[in-house]
Amino acid sequence: MDYANTLLDLIGDTPLVRLHQTLDLPDEDGPLVLAKVEYLNPGGSVKDRIASRMIDAAEASGALQPGGTIVEPTSGNTGVGLAMVAQQRGYHCVFVCPDKVSVDKRNVLKAYGAEVVVCPTAVAPEHPDSYYNVSDRLSKQPGAWKPDQYSNPNNPRSHYETTGPEIWKQTEGRITHFVTGMGTGGTISGVGRYLKEQNPQIQVVGADPAGSVYSGGTGRPYLVEGVGEDFWPETYDRSVADRVIEVSDADSFAFTRRLAREEAMLVGGSSGMAAYAARQLAQELRAAGQTDAIIVVLLPDSGRGYLTKIFNDDWLAQYGFPTGSETDTAQTIGE
C-alpha cells in the first residue's frame, strides 16, 4: 500500500510547473520559467520546511521539552507549519501577528488549536507593543521556546538541505537563475548558497516590495504580506543575492490575479511579486538573446488566505489599485 505515516512525511518535494501566458513571451521559445509550487506542502506554504527543521533541532538540543509551548511572531505561514508539527508532537503554540495579517490567516492558526495575539503594525520594532517585543515577553514564560525564524540558522539550513537540492535535481543541474521573495531571507540564503556551491554561475535574484530594506528602502509600509523588512535579519546572507528587483504592490497584486486566471495557480501576493520579477528577468534575457536560460521562481503560499484582499475588487479599489475587471469586460465584448 502507498501511504504516508503522518502528514509531516509529506513536507517538501514540491513540483516545478512551467509558466506560459503570464510571461507575455512566445511559448515555443525560451527562457523557460519554472514555478516551485510551495503551496502544495501539507500546511500550504514553504514554511512547513523551516518549522519541522527548527523543531527537530530544538528537541535535539533540549531547548524544547515535552509538553512545552512554542511562541513565535509570525505572519501566519510559519505559524501553520509550527502548529502542524506541534499538534503531532504534543506542544502548545502561541503566535504573535501584526494587525495587517488577514483574518483568514489568523483563523487558520486557531483551527490547528493555536492561540493568536494581534499587535499593531504602525509601531517601531523597539516599541513595547511591537510584535517582536510581545513575543519576547511571552517566550520568557516557563516551558516556552521561541524558534525565532529571523535568527534561527535552521531556517536557511532547511532550504540548503531540501529546497536547494530539490531544484538542482529537478532541473538536472541546468538552472541558470533562481528568483524568490525575501522575508527572513531564509529561502534565498539557503537555496542560493546550495545552488552556487553546485555552480557559481547561477544567478540568485531577490524580489522585494518597494520600500523594504532589501531594495534600498527604509521599511516604508507596503501591503504585500510575508516579504520585505524594515531591518536586516540574521537569517539573511547579504553575500548571496546577485541582484534585487523591486516590485510595487500594484504590480504584485495584478500579477497574482493573472497567475490565477491565466495559469490556474491560486497563489498569494508574495508569489505574484516573485513571479512578476521572474517575468521581467525572462523578458530581459530574451531581449539579450539568452533564450536557453532556465529560471526557477519560488511561489511561497496559496491565494486562499487572500480571497478577501487581493482577489476582492473592493479591497483593491480602496487602495487605488486597478482590478482588471474593466479590461476583462472589454476583451469579452470584443471577442
Site for ligand PMP in 295-314 (CB under 6 A): 300-301
Residue of minimal Cβ distance to ligand PMP = 226
* Closer of 194 and 285 to ligand PMP (Cβ): 194
Alpha carbon distances (Å) from 168 to 125, 241, 242: 37, 17, 18
Grid coordinates representing 100 are: 495587517
Q: Residue 19, by phi and psi: left (phi above 0), alpha (psi -120 to 50) or beta? A: beta
CB of 285 to ligand PMP, least distance (A): 24
Which of 133/270 has CB closer to ligand PMP? 270
Q: Cα–Cα distance between 133 and 7 in angstroms, integer?
A: 33
Give 169's contacts (C-beta < 8 A, 6+ positions apart): none
32 phi, psi to nearest 5 deg: -85, 130
Contact pattern for ligand PMP over residues 68 through 87, marking x by CB under 6 A: -------x-x----------
Distance CA 140, CA 309 (A): 35
The three-state secondary structure class of 132 is helix
Active site annotation includes 169:
no
The half-sphere exposure of 268 on its side-chain side, counting CA atoms within 13 A, is: 29
Interface pick for ligand PMP out of 270, 278, 279, 306 (rule CB under 6 A): 270
Least Cβ distance, residue 139 to ligand PMP (angstroms): 18
Please, which residue, 291 or 311, has the CB nearer to ligand PMP? Answer: 311
User: Residues 172-211: x/- map of binding to ligand PMP (CB under 6 A)?
Assistant: ---------xxxxxxx------------------------
119 forms beta bridges with 98
Q: Determine if 154 is a binding residue for ligand PMP (CB under 6 A).
A: no
Q: Cβ closer to ligand PMP: 68 or 226?
A: 226
Residue 19 identity:
L
Q: How far is the CB of 327 from ligand PMP (least distance, A)?
A: 27
Helices (H) and strands (E) in the chain, counts: 11, 10
The rounded distance, in Å, linking the Cα atoms of 5 and 26 is 44
Catalytic member of 47, 146, 196, 309: 47
In Å, what is the CA distance from 203 to each residue of 46, 120, 123, 244, 260?
Answer: 21, 37, 36, 11, 27
Instruction: Cell 538573446: give the residue.
Output: 289
- Least separation in angstroms between residue 270's CB and ligand PMP is 3
C-beta of 320: minimal distance to ligand PMP in Å? 23
Of 68 and 164, the one with the shorter C-beta distance to ligand PMP is 164
Question: Could you say which residues in the range 249-268 bind ligand PMP, by CB under 6 A?
Answer: 268
Rounded to the nearest 5°, which phi and psi values hold at 182? -135, 120
Comparison of 31 and 272: residue with beta carbon closer to ligand PMP? 272
Count of residues in contact with ligand PMP, rule CB under 6 A: 16
- Quote the least distance from Cβ 39 to ligand PMP, whole Å: 10
As measured in angstroms, the least distance from the Cβ of 5 to ligand PMP is 27
- Measure the CA dihedral 243/236/192/238, to 10°: 50
Q: Which is nearer to ligand PMP, 34 or 51 (CB)?
A: 51
| CA atoms 226, 232, 238, 244: torsion sign | positive
Sorted by sequence, the CB contacts under 8 Å of residue 251 that are 6+ apart come out as: 273, 276
Applying CB under 6 A, the residues found at the interface with ligand PMP are 75, 77, 181-187, 225-227, 268, 270, 300-301
Active site residue ranges: 47
